[in-house]
Amino acid sequence: MMKRSYNRRVFLTTSATSIFAASCGKNGAATEPPLVTDPRATDGDDQHEPTWEERFAITVGRSDADLIGEDDRVIQAAVDYVARRGGGTVNIKPGTYTLRNAIQLASDIRIVGSGPETIITKHASNTVRLTEDSDWYDQEITLADSSGFDVGDGVVLRAKNPHNGGQEVIKRTLVARHGNRFRLNEGLRKNLWLSGTPTCSSTFPLLTSEYTQNVEIADLTLDGNRANNELLDGNYGGCIFLQDCRRYQIRNVTAKNYHGDGISFQICHDVKVQDCRCFDNANLGLHPGSGSQRPVILRNELARNNIGLFWCWGVKYGLAEGNRINDNRQFGVSIGHNDTNNVMRDNDIRNSGQVGILFRDDDRGKDFWANRNTIENNRIVNSGGRNGAAIDIYGKTKDVRIIGNELTETRSPEARVGVRIRSLVGPVELQANRFSGFSANVVDERFA
């Protein structure tokens, strides 16, 4: 008689198979679990939550509030207080609040203002050079002149990497000082050697967070004081800058005049930006950034930025619908490196400086182009100079659907075209689009 031998791996595999089979219907297809119709607050479960009539809240104001003040310290104190009590709402009353450091958001909070009457801005930035070497393990810097810096300030440290020549960018807070020498809130973890001409700038995002979730930002006016601040690009800053976050809702926020981006989020999933305004920012109005999955961008106004809507690297399964993207200096919309399976529908894109919608040529790998995106029922008017295009598709981009759009040129035709398809582009579906005023409706260089 043969003996049967089981090890732990075989037992677990067999058990898992049995459990899966038991959960399937007669035809072997998995069935859906029951809908949650009466949720309860259960420890560790953030998927379903009852609707509560009242939640913990605290008010911030220049007077007549729970916490009184007009700078980052009072707003940060309110955020931290609410977060330590398990979440709730920070209500910022009307007034102007001038920051010397970013507001660090926490999970499970709402930060809500009074629309145009609640203004969050920042002081003018100052940039000085460092006068002592700091190694990657150090937690201090020495400035040439510390007169424009205070303990508590948010700063950006920049230097040329001494090994490869690339730029290092480090965001820190000054927490102690002795003369021109400052202690930082965290170690550097990068070398700031004098050979790399290191500098310290008092610039930062206005609202920011890392590794948080379930946050709402609403009814605020964020003014980056662009004229008096140094550039901080959207990989590090903006009126709002998020990194590695989940499930954010940004609603009815004005993000303007930042020397960088209006709203930028990097590796952030299920972010919804709706009914916001991104005006007059030096770089990008709205920047769904690297690796962000399923962004939803609804009914926003993106105007007078360098680029209105910039899909960054690897942004997938996003929706941009009902937005007004006007008067941006370079492109209305730019999409490229591995940004796939996104839909842009029912947007107005007008008066773009070069191109209405640009598909970038991000030739960095085997298949890194903006494939399988849909452009549907948009209105694209007056794009670029005499050689401008409403839609311009570069590189080896493929499987793009351009359906039912209205492409219009109200100036003289010159050499302007509706859709330009470059020579290496793969399959493009053009269907039911309407053209008016161009020298050529479609220029397809694949067949030139």
Per-residue CA distances from 106 to 72, 101, 216, 333 (Å): 15, 16, 10, 31
Q: Which residues neighbour 14 within 8 Å (Cβ) at sequence distance 6 or greater?
A: none
Residue pair 73/179 in contact by the 8 Å Cβ criterion: no
Of 148, 155, 223, 217, the C-alpha closest to 186 is 155
What residues does CATH 2.160.20.10 cover in the chain? Answer: 110-122+204-447
CATH superfamily of 110-122+204-447: Single-stranded right-handed beta-helix, Pectin lyase-like (2.160.20.10)
Domain with CATH 2.40.30 in the chain: 127-201
Going residue by residue through the chain, which has 448 residues, state the pLDDT in tens, using 9 for 90 and above: 444 443 434 333 444 444 444 444 555 556 788 998 888 988 888 778 888 778 899 999 999 999 999 999 999 999 999 999 999 999 999 999 999 999 999 999 999 999 999 999 999 999 999 999 999 999 999 999 999 999 999 999 999 988 888 899 999 999 999 999 999 999 999 999 999 999 999 999 999 999 999 999 999 999 999 999 999 999 999 999 999 999 999 999 999 999 999 999 999 999 999 999 999 999 999 999 999 999 999 999 999 999 999 999 999 999 999 999 999 999 999 999 999 999 999 999 999 999 999 999 988 778 899 999 999 999 999 999 999 999 999 999 999 999 999 999 999 999 999 999 999 999 999 999 999 999 999 999 998 7
Cβ neighbours of residue 147 closer than 8 Å, sequence gap 6 or more: none
Contact 395, 361 (CB under 8 A): yes
Contact yes or no for 129/199 (Cβ under 8 A) = yes
β partners of residue 345: 321, 376
> What is the distance between the alpha carbons of residues 280 and 262, in angstroms, rounded to a whole number?
8
> Which pLDDT value is given to residue 411?
96
Eight-class DSSP state of 134: B
CATH code of the domain occupying 127-201 = 2.40.30
For tokens 């690796």, what's the residue? 291
Q: What is the pLDDT of residue 70?
A: 97
Give the CA dihedral 309, 315, 320, 325, nearest 10 degrees. Answer: 10
The one-character DSSP state at 146 is -
- pLDDT for 54: 83
The DSSP-derived string for 65-112 is SSEE-SSHHHHHHHHHHHHHTT-EEEEEPSEEEEESS-EE--TTEEEE
Q: What is the pLDDT of residue 53?
A: 78
| pLDDT number for residue 55 | 84
Predicted local distance difference test score (pLDDT) of residue 363 = 80
Instruction: Report the DSSP pairing between strands 379-381 and 406-408.
Output: parallel
What is the model's pTM?
0.91
Strand partners, 264: 241, 287
- The pLDDT value recorded for residue 207 is 98
The pLDDT of residue 22: 47
Q: In what order do the strands lie in the sheet with 140-142?
A: 127-129, 199-201, 154-160, 167-178, 181-184, 140-142
* Rounded (10°) CA dihedral 418, 419, 422, 428: -170
| Close Cβ partners of 226 (under 8 Å, ≥ 6 residues apart) | 257, 258, 259, 280, 281, 282
CA 6 to chain CA centroid, Å, is 51
**What pLDDT is stored for residue 17 in this prediction?**
46
Letter for the amino acid at 114? Answer: S
The pLDDT of residue 5:
41
